[in-house]
Amino acid sequence: MSLTRRAIAVAAAAAAALALAGAPALAADIPPADTVVTSPNVSHVLNIPKPAPIAGTINTDIAFQGDYAYVGNYGGFSIYDIRNPKKAKAVSSVVCPGSQMDVSVYGNLLFGAVDSPRSDDSCNSTGLPATEERSWEGVRIFDISDKANPRYIKSVETDCGSHTLTLVPGKGRDRDRNVYVYVSSYLPSATFPDCRPPHDKISIIKVPLKDPASASVAATPVVFPDGGNETQPGLLLPTSGCHDITVYAEKDIAAGACMGDGVLFDISDRMNPVITARTTDPNFAFWHSATFNNDATKVVFTDELGGGGAATCNATVGPNRGADAIYDIVDGEFVFKSYFKIPRYQADTENCVAHNGSLIPVKGKDIMVQAWYMGGLSVWDFTDSANPREIGYFERGPRSDGSGGGIWSAYYYNGYIYAADFNEGFDIVQIKDPLTDGAKGVRMDHLNVQTQESYGRGRH
């Protein structure tokens, strides 16, 4: 979640969750401060500190294309050369502030989500109250053909900004002509001129590939015409849009993590996604993100209990809150199977909750790597939906200064796991285990995690 203008509302809603985090973890389970610990099958390959231009702001999401990784940051983004993961290095950094800089890449284009009101759409903008009509939020588009010198080419303003974004390729002949961007945003207010309730919609940006500078909002479909889950006790925030959408374009479906609701979309009409299934969960405080398995017969939803700022990986909160929920898809409907949460208790100074992850492409298995903020990253198997289990991990002990942070996103790409840490920078990790070794034969030439493709499919 964004830690900017939404932080005030989220902090108030999260107070109850913070109060739950009072039981101390067992001291023997907590690594020494600032110390890296791993399971025996996991090794820490490399850490690259944040480049100087954006060292003072936090890392967020990651996208991949060819031999490069693109790491979002509240201050902009950085490009890393990962041709040799053991000697990976930063190529360039673009200073362009505006949280939370969720990033995706397509061809020579990089898209960055901006969910904090700015004085204008430029990279020299400053923060501005959302109550001012001239404030800007939305999506910035960069030309990344020259990795050493990315070029800002276009912005598109969207209602309530862009907390996250999801690239959706066109269908048929349209695939070579346009790419679409599903923009997720939420938390409207009657005092925000560009973000008034009800806000039960998403924004869809159409990007002509031959003329990306003409990109514009082409549709704003209302996905909750009758309103979403707004009254369930324990919700962090009532549904007023979606937090994140993951599309499986080749199957014309998408899964939405929509604050108080988990939903399945039919996206056969790219401009008019329609909810076909919907579920809620009394244990979920905030539906944060979604991941299909490769066969699209399951969805893993994450619950960001406490908005990412609470110490929820302890005995008091327990295994079923701030966790993943695994659903099988049966006859087009969600069937709940189980929860998964890391089995290692964290200290009370460590913010920890389910966050961003991706599949590890082992054919015939359902295996993920996932970030847990200060809980590090976990590799886990959900092939048996009712009995998921962790098979490897990487984490750091509590920060010696008592502050929080941790790993925002952890994704598998061509043999290695890449993780964006708030403070520590860019981590490269490797797992060697019989359960994951099958992924070595699967090579990808790009990865935008919220734009899923079946293993080995697709090039752009």
Structural domains in the chain, CATH included, are 7-452 (2.130.10.10)
DSSP state of 295: T
Residue for token pair 């809980």: 375
Closest residue by Cα to residue 93 from 47, 46, 55: 55
Q: Which one, of 257, 244, 236, lies nearest residue 305 by Cα? A: 236
pLDDT tens for each residue of 129-176: 999 999 999 999 999 999 999 999 999 999 999 999 999 999 999 999
CB 233, CB 284: distance < 8 Å = no
- pLDDT for 28: 60
Give Cβ neighbours of residue 173 (< 8 Å, ≥ 6 apart): none
CA distance 194 to 274: 24
In this prediction, residue 369 carries a pLDDT of 98
Q: Are 421 and 427 in contact (CB under 8 A)?
A: yes
Tell me, what's the pLDDT at 24?
Answer: 43
Alpha helices in 330-449 (DSSP H): none
398 and 33 Cβ atoms separated by less than 8 Å = yes
**pLDDT (tens digit, 9 = 90+) per residue, 290-335?**
999 999 999 999 999 999 999 999 989 999 999 999 999 999 999 9
pLDDT at 460: 35
Q: Which pLDDT score is estimated for 117?
A: 97
Q: What is the reported pLDDT for 92?
A: 98
Percent of the chain with pLDDT over 70: 93
At 29 the pLDDT is 77
Q: Which among 371, 374, 357 has a CA at the least distance from the CA of 413?
A: 357
pLDDT along the chain (460 residues), means of 10: 43 40 54 96 98 98 98 98 98 97 98 97 97 97 98 98 98 96 97 96 98 98 96 95 97 98 98 98 98 98 97 94 98 98 94 98 97 98 98 97 96 98 98 97 96 70
Q: Provide the β-strand partners of residue 184.
A: 164
Partner residues linked to 299 by β-bridges = 292, 327
3-class secondary structure per residue, 322-380? CCEEEEEEECCEEEEEEEECCCCCCCCCCCECCCEEEECCCCCCCEEEEECECCCEEEE
DSSP 173-195: GGGGTEEEEEEE-----TT-TTS
Residue 456: the pLDDT is 57
Q: Are 118 and 112 in contact (CB under 8 A)?
A: no
pLDDT for res 290: 98
Chain centroid, CA 258 distance in Å: 13
Q: How many CB atoms lie within 10 A of CB 146?
A: 11
By C-alpha distance, which of 396, 416, 400, 392 is closest to 352? Answer: 396
Token readout for 330 is 């049966």
